[in-house]
Amino acid sequence: MTPKIPVEPDILWWSIPAAALVALLYFLSPILAPFLFAAILAYISNPVVNWLARHRVGRALGALLVMLLLAGLLALLLLILLPLFVKQIHLLSERLPGFIAQLNDNLLPWIKARFDVELHFDLAELKTLIHENLKGADGLGMKLLASLKIGGLALLGFVVNLLLVPVVLFYLLRDWNLLLARIDGLLPRRWHQRTTAMAREIDVVLAEFLRGQIAVMLLMSLLYVIGLWLAGLEFALPIGIITGMLVFVPYVGMLTGLVLATVVALMQFPSVSGVVPVWIVFGIGQALEGMLVTPLLVGQRIGLHPLAVIFALLAFGQLFGFFGILLALPASAALLVGLRHFRSHYLDSSLYKS
């Protein structure tokens, strides 16, 4: 009688914690967003805290200094953008009547000639209609109150998450090396060398990706600001910065900036021809980003197929919301490193060779 070959328990030891981790991430996804965001910031900022620690600055103080630096950068960005957007809204309210007149004189006759549809925009009638509906709707107050309750709860949750981020960030920055040491101590010794090698490779990939992506964001912001300024757009600075800062999400930054710039250009220029240079700027910017800037600064280090990028964005966005979109590409890059090691191990295994 042939003796039974004992089942190797390694797969069981690894599959059960992995399945439990996936289930935990799924069920706790609504509350994980601030922790994920804080972890991203901590991973980016930890080298600065380590540098301060090497210069005899305690990690707790170093974490506070880094958080103050991040808060200062955020405040500087808001000081640049908010006044310009307030001015833009003010000008929008002033130019709205002229814009509606342009639609009535230029666009609506073209629609009537092409589609035989009679349209007419009247700003005074629109204001009167809104005022009468707000005044005369008996159930509108209760509907608004119910909406305010729902919106108030959502706003409260957003504020709580926003306040939780700096708390989590401080403890992660202060105890980052200690947490890594504890995780390292829990790894099985027979897997320790391979796991740490994989972790170092993931760290290299993520570091290259983050440094390259930040450089892409800064350079594209500068290019869009200069291009929109040369096109004569009044709000070139805020729109260029927003477009450049959002390029880490494929196509979202360009489309957001394109919509904003098109609306502003329609308000600013007397004819539609003034919008064409703005569209040319975004066309050139998209081409430069895809064919030159991103390949040069980020390169093909991640190696993700475009379909994999789209799937990762949708999947992580579904699980973790906006912060999941931030996490999608770095997490996918780390997963790709693990898959490469798994493939190498599989090709060397007896299962494949036999």
Rounded to an integer, what distance in angstroms lies between the CA atom of residue 334 and that of residue 207?
Answer: 11
Query: Looking at residue 3, what is its pLDDT?
Result: 47
For residue 299, the model assigns a pLDDT of 58
Start-to-end CA span in the chain (Å)? 24
Q: What is the sign, positive or negative, of the torsion defined by CA atoms of 45, 48, 53, 56?
A: negative
In terms of Cα–Cα distance, which of 231, 262, 265, 261 is closest to 243?
Answer: 261
What pLDDT was estimated at residue 30?
66
Backbone phi, psi, residue 6, to 5°: -65, 140
Query: How confident is the prediction for the chain on average, in pLDDT?
Result: 75
Where are the extended beta strands (E) located within 18-112?
none
Could you give phi then psi for residue 186, rounded to 5 degrees?
-90, -10
Mean pLDDT of 132-155: 52
pLDDT in tens, 57-72: 889 999 999 999 999 9
Q: Which secondary-structure segment (H or E) carries 151?
A: helix 140-186
Q: Give the CA angle between residues 207, 213, 217 to the nearest 5°.
A: 150
Q: What pLDDT was estimated at residue 124?
A: 62
Q: CB of 228 within 8 A of CB of 257?
A: no
With a CB cutoff of 8 Å and minimum separation 6, the contacts of 43 are 206, 210
The DSSP code sequence of 324-341 is HHHHHHHHHHHHHHHHHH
% of the chain exceeding 90 in pLDDT: 9
- Record the pTM: 0.64
* Residue carrying structure tokens 């050139």: 284
Q: For 278-309, give one letter per residue: b (16+ CB within 10 A) or e.
A: beebbeebbebbeeebbeebbeeebebeeeee
Q: How far apart are CA 103 and CA 107, in angstroms?
A: 5
Whether residue 122 is predicted with pLDDT greater than 50 in this model: the reply is: yes
